[in-house]
Amino acid sequence: MRQVERARRALLIIDAQNDFMPFGALPVAEGDAVIEVANELAPRFDYVAASQDWHPAGHLSFASSHSGCVAGDMVDLVGAKQVLWVDHCIQDTPGASFHSGLEVSHIDAVVKKGTDHGIDSYSAFFDNNHARSTGLVDLLRKEGITEVYAVGLATDYCVLFTVLDARKLGFSVAVVSDGVRGVNLRAGDDLKALDQMRKAGSRIVTSEEV
């Protein structure tokens, strides 16, 4: 009998942390809606990896680290443009913890990002200047994963850059549209990000289509 080989699939749960929830320091509207989608999908995957934004206090992506700056300002960090944020996801604080509703027993690996004081890391794979890997790509390759699905926060930052890197690394990629939400510093940023991900060759699917 012939067997059809199915792709090995991983679910990537991006930054499902308290500080990005509606009650958190850097609130994403309806951010908590991604939790039940993640919980529902996770058991159906061969491998589940979750990322945590994990900044040291005084991180240079924080407006509070630049005198005279407020959240939303742009600065130059190691030659790249950087949006400044309110303090968020500081290592070992409650704001950096996963939302309490997230079913962590489904998670096979956690990768931390944004840990270097001077450089931000939107992608769960590499920091923003692509100098350092979080190790996620090695974990996925060791598991024989060829296809990744993304849920989490935020559509227009960390989900976007994770998905773009996943495509560059050669994975086939799907973004679960009802499992992501955007910061929307400008209205419509989330829709633009979905479009950008589609143009980079990722599929946009609903959780029912997974």
| Residue 87 is among the residues annotated as catalytic for this protein | no
Q: Is the peptide bond before 154 cis (omega within 30 degrees of 0)?
A: yes
Helix axes 189-199, 160-168, angle to 10 degrees: 10
Q: What is the largest CA-CA distance in the chain?
A: 70
Helices and strands (H, E) in the chain, number of each type? 4, 8
| Residue 199 is among the residues annotated as catalytic for this protein | no
Distance CA 136, CA 55 (A): 18
Residues in contact with Zn ion, counted by CB under 5 A, come to a total of 2
x/- site string to Zn ion, residues 100 to 119, per CB under 5 A?
Answer: --------------x-----
Among 12, 15, 54, 181, binds ligand VGL (CB under 6 A): 15
* Residue at 36: amino acid letter: E
Among 53, 87, 127, 190, binds Zn ion (CB under 5 A): 53
Our finding on whether 154 is near ligand VGL (CB under 6 A) is yes
Q: Which is nearer to Zn ion, 53 or 156 (CB)?
A: 53
Which residue is listed with tokens 């190691």? 78
Helix (H) or strand (E) segment spanning residue 53 = strand 47-53
Report the nearest approach of ligand VGL to the CB of residue 53 (Å): 5
| Residue 158 is among the residues annotated as catalytic for this protein | yes
x/- site string to ligand VGL, residues 20 to 49, per CB under 6 A?
Answer: x-----------------------------
Our finding on whether 153 is near ligand VGL (CB under 6 A) is yes
Contact predicate 162/133, CB 8 Å: no
State which of positions 82-141 bind ligand VGL (CB under 6 A).
85
Which residues are tagged catalytic? 15, 113, 158
